[in-house]
């Protein structure tokens, strides 16, 4: 009997998170209220607050849901634990970044982008949301493992970087951030210039991989 109750609770939480997801796709995230989410679910206010007592816990659940897509952490660890050559590991890690971002682009990326901007402007909200997230954030974890690979192989002499390794890592992180930002704005908000009608995240990340490899002396 307790198992049935647990499954019921899990399904109800998923139902509320799905409703929040739909609302956040339609409205700017910072303007979404608990009342919006209650209305979307069709549940009573008490029914929703039983599972989420404030908007920050809902935001945290949305972030966790996004970071669960495709078990990317497991994929990253699998690559790092493999016997592949370092440049192949690097290529596979960039491939994970590409597939994860593409899978998220039309679904969660608008929400995460707006949440990120909102939290930068409101650090106290960032702390409240972060304190309730449970899943490991994929891109920071990926950046950490990329750094581990690059630094280790530079020290071992496998890579012969043409600029200091920390500068390469800064370049990679800044480039990832720029690609995510610009492609999200281009595809989710239809913001583009006459020179760039549609940005292709796969091509951009492919170019970043090649650039990184060249900077590493390969």
Q: Is residue 63 part of a domain?
A: no
- Note the pLDDT tens digit of each residue in 150-200: 999 999 999 999 999 999 999 999 999 999 999 998 888 877 655 556 788
Q: What per-residue confidence (pLDDT) applies to 195? A: 57
Residue 128 has pLDDT above 90, yes or no: yes
Encoded tokens for 191: 């913001």
Which domain, by its residues, includes 103?
70-215
Q: Is residue 13 part of a domain?
A: yes
Alpha-carbon distance 104 to 201, whole Å? 11
Q: Is residue 60 part of a domain?
A: no
Q: What per-residue confidence (pLDDT) applies to 1? A: 47
Encoded tokens for 31: 């303007």
Least confident of 101-105, 131-135, 193-197: 193-197
Q: Is residue 29 part of a domain?
A: yes
Alpha-carbon distance 184 to 125, whole Å? 23
Looking at every residue in the chain, the average pLDDT score rounds to 91
Q: What per-residue confidence (pLDDT) applies to 191? A: 76
Whether residues 88 and 168 fall in one domain: yes
Q: Is residue 189 part of a domain?
A: yes
Q: What per-residue confidence (pLDDT) applies to 136? A: 95
Q: What per-residue confidence (pLDDT) applies to 188? A: 84
Whether residues 82 and 126 fall in one domain: yes
Alpha-carbon distance 54 to 33, whole Å? 9
CB-based contact 51:16 (threshold 8 Å) = yes
Band (pLDDT 50/70/90 cuts) for residue 4 is low
- pLDDT higher for 89 or 3? 89
Whether residues 47 and 89 fall in one domain: no
């Amino acid at each position: 009997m307790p198992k049935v109750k647990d499954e019921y609770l899990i399904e109800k939480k998923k139902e509320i998170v799905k409703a929040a997801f739909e609302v956040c796709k339609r409205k700017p995230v910072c303007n979404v209220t608990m009342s919006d989410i209650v209305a979307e679910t069709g549940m009573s206010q008490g029914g929703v607050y039983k599972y989420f007592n404030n908007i920050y816990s809902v935001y945290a659940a949305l972030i966790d849901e996004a970071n669960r897509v495709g078990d990317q952490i497991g994929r990253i660890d699998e690559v790092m634990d493999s016997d592949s050559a370092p440049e192949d590991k690097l290529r596979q890690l960039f491939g994970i970044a590409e597939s994860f971002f593409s899978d998220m682009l039309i679904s969660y990326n608008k929400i995460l982008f707006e949440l990120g901007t909102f939290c930068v402007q409101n650090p106290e909200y960032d702390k409240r949301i972060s304190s309730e997230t449970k899943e490991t954030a994929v891109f920071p974890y990926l950046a950490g493992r990329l750094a581990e690979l690059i630094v280790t192989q530079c020290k071992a002499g496998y890579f012969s970087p043409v600029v200091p390794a920390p500068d390469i890592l800064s370049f990679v992180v800044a480039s990832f951030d720029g690609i995510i930002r610009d492609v999200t704005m281009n595809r989710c908000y239809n913001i583009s210039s006459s020179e760039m009608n549609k940005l292709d995240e796969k091509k951009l990340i492919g170019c970043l991989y090649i650039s990184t490899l060249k900077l590493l002396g390969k």
